[in-house]
Amino acid sequence: MSDVAERVKKIVVEHLGVEEDKVTENASFIDDLGADSLDTVELVMAFEEEFGIEIPDDAAETIQTFGDAVKFISEAS
């Protein structure tokens, strides 16, 4: 697993309080990991901080799964 993926996973685990093995490529934050809509905003905020990037609102909306987040951040940073 890439460094980005490791760091994203750590944030997701800490933020949503889920088991690490639940955070799979296609795991949806809302449908599979129990996040509510505000949690997803907070996750995006945490990603921005961890990776020193800006994630605009329209891009944030496309980040639905763990895989989406890793892909977006890898391309942006």
The site for other proteins (CB under 8 A) is made up of 38, 41-42, 45
Of the candidates 57, 76, 73, the one whose C-alpha atom is nearest the C-alpha of residue 6 is 73
Q: CA 71 to CA 14: how far, in whole Å?
A: 20
Catalytic status, residue 57: no
Q: How far is the CB of 37 from other proteins (least distance, A)?
A: 9
Cβ-based nearer residue to other proteins, 5 or 35 = 35
Compute the Cα dihedral for 23, 27, 32, 36 and give only its sign.
positive
Catalytic member of 3, 31, 32, 36? 36
Any idea which residues carry the catalytic annotation? Answer: 36
